[in-house]
Structure 1
């Protein structure tokens, strides 16, 4: 019972998890250094700079245009470029523009970075929005004379060195693997969905309808392997078809559906209706989760070869992240499976708390409001 109360106390903090914000940074090698284009969501800029001057909840172009110098100053202050230990100062070029991405309107800032020497190694430090949103991602595409590379920056990995002579679709494969791992560990909705599916893995339904522990570790391991594999295959499938542009769904619909999937998975632990085929549930609901990241890759507009490599690295990272979670969870759950505390407090109580958190997410995402203050 104490654990249930602790989860409920932590609910306001946990429920702040939401769809991560993304920005898209393009850097192209030029004679003076680099030409850049940076797409930043207007909703994020409004949160930081208060662009909605009349407070009507809707941004007009006039409100954005009058603050374009403030926007350029703020955004460029969060990017540091350099080479050979010397900085490449950035300067805004032209007027601010607005572009549509899959999740809304973005401000487009064109700029140039002047390097004192011809760069062979680019050092990049990206700190946009990390102080306000730890789940923010910077999707960076660098184009040089020999090719292009794509990487995704996060709060834990925001400073990188990029060898310009060896840019290719594979040059940042490891970084995409890292992003896949973070997608599972930092994406609380994905993590709680997976946890809700794993909680009953060390139990089975008794003839009377209650929960009882499994006798051996083998059946529990096989159940977990089926659940995790089904989730991974489904996640990878929809991620791939969506990123390739074969299927496109509105961002708000996808994020709301992911919240619903977490609610269903948690509710099935409290009021079991699906028995023995949870891997099928993991597959069916996991199809939704692949769309959660696909819009990022689609909006980046990668060429076919770069997209395939990026998808592969990301999916490898997702699988590694899930396996790490299973490696920690399953042995502990197996040891605790015989205790009534596991069946009542962890399985039922924990699932109820997960369901409550997902209900808050659903309200925030479906109605586009903030139930809890940031």
Structure 2
């Protein structure tokens, strides 16, 4: 976020009278009976209604925006009102004026804090912003901590409701299990590891492990390395401390699946496999973080969801291990496993992963 005092000499290079269909953004953070409201409004919309471009030169300077900030606040107060569980809340402090860039241009940011009579369970938003001047305008409202889609607000449509996400630790555990179940790339990566966890490297090939105990020990090392690694990056990415481009992360995840599958067919990756799996797990952890990042949580708010979600991911992985490992143990010395199951299964996974790599890296959609 860019705070306006840093913009003392900056001219905002947007045509003051140009206009297109616009959106404003509402974000609510609820902590007990306290509510924080953040409203981002496009400067172009504000200029149209308030005439911010005082000198008429077609650009907005900080001085022009700052001098009209009380009018901007008044317009926002009249255009956005909310109640908590049917009861009005009292406004407390406002934060200093701020600006933030969006894809549709620079926005004024108005943050206010409110005090409600009791702990809040649901907000009802009465949205009237630009109802008389822009029939195409819409608002997008989101509640921090809610996993649902943003609420689309039509000016003058009457109160619309945002309910707090009521999930507890168990709910986030279920969310983590659902995420691993729906993430085919993550599941197939785990499958490639389990297919040969019952084998050991023998030169440029594989040989069955001598005992089930050795196979179980290898599986434990692989799963532990993957879990520890992705837990680290999951926490960093969910908190916002690590934020690489999503397309790059998804492409790298597909690449890890491809490399692991090819290594099954003919081992080529150096060093102990658990170390490579740990490095790959760092990439997968960033991919796991998507659902938690969408909640917009910060600091201590993230602890419970992160714990529950991570436990859910691990339980989902254990289900895959419990289903596949006994079969791999029973068949590890069989010719059909060596000649058909592992090379055939790994080859199919490698082909699918290669398709993912191409699609994700080049933003293509290949025929099925």
**TM-score normalised by L of structure 2:** 0.58
User: Which position in structure 2 is the counterpart of 1:274?
Assistant: 269
Query: In structure 2, what is the equivalent of residue 284 of structure 1?
Result: 279
Query: C-alpha offsets along residues 150-199 of structure 1, whole Å, 9 cap, x if unaligned?
Result: 4xxxxxxxxxxx4xxxxxxxx52111101111222210000001111111
Deviation at 1:213, TM superposition (A): 1.7
In structure 1, what is the equivalent of residue 232 of structure 2?
A: 237
Unmatched 5+ residue regions in structure 2?
A: 1-25, 31-81, 89-102, 105-122, 130-136, 142-148
Cα pair distance change 1:26/1:199, threshold 3 Å? farther
Aligned pairs (5 A) from 1:278-317: 278-317=273-312
Tell me, in whole angstroms, the C-alpha distance in 2 between the residues paired with 1:369 and 1:91: 41
**CA-to-aligned-CA distance 1:99-158 (integer Å, 9 cap, x gap):** 9xxxxxx9862377669xxxxxxxxxxxxxxxxxxxxxxxxx844xxxxxx4xxxxxxxx
Cα drift, residue 323 of structure 1: 1.2
Is 1:353 paired with 2:351? no
In terms of Rg, which structure is larger? 2
The one of 315, 319, 326 equivalent to 1:324 is 319
Native 8 Å contact 2:127 2:159 kept in 1? no
User: Which of 1 and 2 has higher RCO (CA within 8 Å, sep 6+)?
Assistant: 1
Question: 1:235: how far off?
Answer: 0.8
Partner of 1:200: 196
Pick from 334, 342, 351 the counterpart of residue 339 of structure 1.
Answer: 334
Partner residue, 1:365: 360
Structure 2 CA distance, aligned partners of 1:247 and 1:275?
A: 28
Q: Is the 8 A contact 1:255 1:365 kept in 2?
A: yes
Aligned CA-pair RMSD: 3.3
Instruction: Report matched runs for 1:165-180 at 5 Å.
Output: 172-180=168-176
Q: Choose from 171, 179, 183 the match for 2:179.
A: 183
Verify the 8 A CA contact 1:96 1:108 in the aligned structure 2.
no
For residues 363 and 231 of structure 2, what CA distance do their matches in structure 1 show?
27
1:34-79: CA deviations, max 9, x gaps?
Answer: 99xxxxxxxxxxxxxxxxxxxxxxxx98xxxxxxxxxxxxxxxxxx
- Shift in alpha-carbon separation, 1:31–1:211, aligned structure 2, 3 A: closer
Written as runs of structure 1 = structure 2, the 5 A alignment for 1:1-374 is 30-31=83-84, 95-97=137-139, 109-110=152-153, 142-143=163-164, 150=165, 162=166, 172-206=168-202, 209-274=204-269, 277-372=272-367
Q: Using the alignment, how far apart are the partners of 2:28 and 2:355 within structure 1? A: 35
Check the 8 A contact 2:254/2:354 in 1, yes or no: yes
Shift, 1:296, TM fit: 3.6
Distance 1:108 1:364, change over 3 A: farther
CA distance in 1, matches of 2:208, 2:345: 17
Q: C-alpha deviations, 1:202-227, integer Å up to 9, x for none? A: 112335x4432222110000100110
Q: How many Å separate the matches in 2 of 1:34 and 1:290? A: 42
The 1:362–1:210 alpha-carbon spacing in structure 2 relative to 1, beyond 3 Å, is: closer
Structure 1 length-normalised TM? 0.58
The Cα shift of 1:360 comes to 0.9
Q: How much has 1:295 moved relative to structure 2?
A: 3.9
CA contact under 8 A between 1:26 and 1:142: conserved in structure 2?
Answer: no
Distance 1:371 1:226, change over 3 A: same
Q: Distance in 2 between matches of 1:222 and 1:34?
A: 59
Q: In structure 2, how many angstroms separate the alpha carbons of the residues matched to 1:301 and 1:325?
A: 30
User: In structure 2, how many angstroms separate the alpha carbons of the residues matched to 1:322 and 1:215?
Assistant: 25
- Displacement of 1:274 in angstroms is 3.2
